[in-house]
A and B are shown apart, each in its own frame.
Chain A
């Protein structure tokens, strides 16, 4: 647990980076600091490992004032991932990761074998350990950065805009991986970003900072979307927050209806919109059977919208947001539900999603 008590950072030129911050970071959770540039989020992060010392106030790490710790020793117990990874260009990937265990007194051999384990953990092939950072892509470098931060198995991980310099697809991958790692490792993670979507996706709790270093709101992502504390937070959270809040509700209550399907190359029994499927019943797209009486050919297929995944056997389903988006993005007006194998399971209607939302409101699952 990390506790900020009335922490203020004022620079000699009078700039106030952080202004009277009181905040408790829960152990074993991901806490995201988010806000526009100049809001003090990175300064707050760097005060935790004493890269920056506060002007006044106290920071407690597991109940102990961090000022009592020798900074280098304190830092060896706190993993740190930086934007652009900050890998050492002159050391191989393996030795980059082995740096921290070696600093903490492990011999080279033990440190390297630990480093090899970590490369595997973050999804990099062991051979890559022999390369230099310049030979890796941005996303791969960032994975090495995460491996290096985890190398000494620190209970706390600080991540300073780690994924902001990679392209959106790679970023999505890295975010998924972080969530997967966290579900196994249960670290206390403080994550800084300027991207509210990233904050909502990753955070167990999100601290929204405003310019001038003041905490505007500290809440769970669903609370933040449902009940922004003020105009600043609601404008920062952005448009479509009602829609995005649906992402936190599972769609298990939404009924999956029937849907007409036709195998590619065959002719549909009835006119109207049908889902064209392949031999394994996976959707290829929609066909408006009124427009042709010929067999369904790949040329006539209109690509359908997003798919909504349900697993009847396991009783799990995607979110209300997935279900609604599937319905809204489909040319036929109903969304395609697929099972875990990707085969068509049925259809989902927008009205059904809205009814499920109304039920969730009544039962108090959604903060009203």
Chain B
């Protein structure tokens, strides 16, 4: 591109294509943060389910801290390769997840002190973030996945209720120690991995087609 003068039609065409290209490029890899956090959480959850199933030492529970460490390293590497431009939507989505992250840390402190279901709380809080992100980027499937996850989170208090009952339902609670983490991983798959892949497929193919046109 040079600084040559254009005719009126060429000018309008250039404006339109530049705006479209920029929008498409910024939307590229929108789903990758979902995939980084989703796959990390699923892997660590399944690992912890395995340690519980095999009856390993409870010290392995420290491996939960691998989620923020791996997640942040993944995000740093991801942001390193991303274009250095931000639009309004990027900023809003970033702020949503900062607030969700801080709130989550705050609530976890309360749970540790006063007790409660960590799985339930985690899915509800992350579900809220997913729904809000879906609404802001106007992607219905992402919002629906968030709602499904929040609805599915009711499994956890339901099982706690069942565990409190004696009788024929007691067998369920025996396997729930590790089964809870399998359910937790399955919910994260629906809440983060599914929309992550759909978002990447949608926007990356859109960006590729615009690039090949130009």
Asked if A and B bind, the verdict is no
Residues on A lying within 8 angstroms of B by beta carbon are none
Residues on B lying within 8 angstroms of A by beta carbon are none
